Amino acid sequence: MDQSEADIIAGSLEAVVARVGDPAGQIFERLFAEIPQARERFARDVGGSIRGEMLAMVFDCLMDPGGPYQANIVRTERVNHDGFGTPAEEFDRFFWIVRDTCQELAGPDWTPEVARAWTAGIERIVGASR
Ligand code: HEM
């Protein structure tokens, strides 16, 4: 991945955190609003550590220079998720749900440059991991 694109994404996340703190709660609320059947799959995630791990992986994939490592772990997770009841199209949708939530929370900090960086980063990781 182009490092400046990763820097732009990282900067936009910092802006979100500065405005509203940890966006995890809102990201998962949006997930459960868009994909209601996903909520019960987190029943055993009482403390939120699985949700935290998922989100950390999405952010890592978008902010680290993309290479075979990220594509391979996302490919593996997509297969794992299909095995425990989350089909591939729902899995891929999560990246866009994270994007949409951050866009909403960033307000005016969500510039066209930021929007382009997120779209390009997500398309790259989703495409490379198929
Ligand atoms: C709508 C999309 C998604 C749903 C509904 C979902 C759901 C889940 C659930 C229910 C678990 C817990 C599994 C268990 O009981 O052990 C889990 C774990 C996990 N998810 Fe997701 N997931 C989604 C997308 C993603 C994406 C896009 C990533 C990363 C790119 C990801 C990364 C992880 C990781 C790292 C774990 C914990 C380790 C593991 O079980 O492999 N998930 N996910």
Condensed to tens digits (0 to 9), the pLDDT of residues 47-69 reads: 999 999 999 999 999 987 667 88
81 lines ligand 1 (CB under 6 A): yes
Per-residue pLDDT at 63: 86
Indicate which atom in ligand 1 lies nearest the CA of residue 97: 1
Per-residue pLDDT at 118: 97
Count CA atoms closer than 13 A to 7's CA, side-chain side. 3
* CATH class, range 3-128: mainly alpha
Per-residue pLDDT at 120: 94
Cβ(124)–Cβ(65) below 8 Å: no
**Rounded CA separation 12/6 (Å):** 10
Distance 81 CA to ligand 1 centre (A): 6
Indicate which atom in ligand 1 lies nearest the CA of residue 73: 30
Cβ(67)–Cβ(10) below 8 Å: no
Per-residue pLDDT at 127: 94
Longest Cα–Cα distance of the chain, Å, equals 40
pTM for the model stands at 0.95
The percentage of residues in the chain with a pLDDT greater than 90, rounded to a whole number, is: 91
73 lines ligand 1 (CB under 6 A): no
Per-residue pLDDT at 30: 98
Per-residue pLDDT at 3: 65
Residue scoring higher pLDDT (30 or 66)? 30
Burial of 33 (0-12, 13-18, 19+ CB in 10 A): exposed
Distance 108 CA to ligand 1 centre (A): 31
Domain locations along the chain: 3-128
Cβ(62)–Cβ(122) below 8 Å: yes
Per-residue pLDDT at 65: 64
Indicate which atom in ligand 1 lies nearest the CA of residue 35: 1
**pLDDT of 2 above 80:** no
